[in-house]
């Protein structure tokens, strides 16, 4: 019983000390083209341990799926460039379609 409690306490202690180090390693990429008061509430991308994480991008204006896809890819590419990366280094992309017919 004591061993279980001690192990749980040690785990909590280790996690508590890991959080500040992880938080310091995250770099938020600001939107450099806007005034400070006009910037969005969240970063368009962040870097952590050499990886760039781009926030959700979408296109809801006029046009077909081809135009929307081009727009979103351009938005992603712009975020990657701001972070010093490129489309050549993309590891994974999640795509969510409004209409499954757009998949074919």
Q: Domain spans of the chain?
A: 26-103
- Measured in degrees and rounded to the nearest 5, phi and psi for residue 77 equal -60, -40
Supply the Cα-derived Rg of the chain in whole angstroms. Answer: 20
Task: State the Cα–Cα distance between residues 43 and 31, nearest whole angstrom.
Answer: 7
Nearest to 43 by CA among 55, 57, 25: 55
Residues 6+ apart with CB under 8 A from 51: 91
- pTM (predicted TM-score): 0.64
Task: State the Cα–Cα distance between residues 67 and 86, nearest whole angstrom.
Answer: 21
Task: State the Cα–Cα distance between residues 104 and 102, nearest whole angstrom.
Answer: 6
Q: What is the pLDDT along the chain (104 residues), one digit of tens a residue?
A: 555 555 555 454 554 444 555 555 777 776 666 665 666 677 889 999 889 999 899 998 899 999 999 999 999 999 999 999 999 999 999 988 888 888 87
């Amino acid at each position: 019983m004591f061993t279980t409690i001690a192990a749980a306490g040690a785990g909590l202690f280790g996690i508590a000390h890991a959080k500040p180090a992880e938080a310091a390693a995250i770099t938020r990429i600001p939107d450099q083209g806007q005034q400070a008061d006009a910037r969005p509430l969240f970063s368009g991308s962040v870097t952590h341990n050499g990886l760039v994480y781009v926030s959700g991008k979408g296109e809801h204006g006029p046009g077909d799926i081809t135009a929307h896809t081009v727009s979103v890819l351009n938005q992603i590419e712009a975020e990657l460039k701001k972070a010093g990366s490129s489309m050549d280094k993309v590891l994974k992309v999640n795509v969510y379609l409004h209409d499954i017919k757009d998949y074919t």
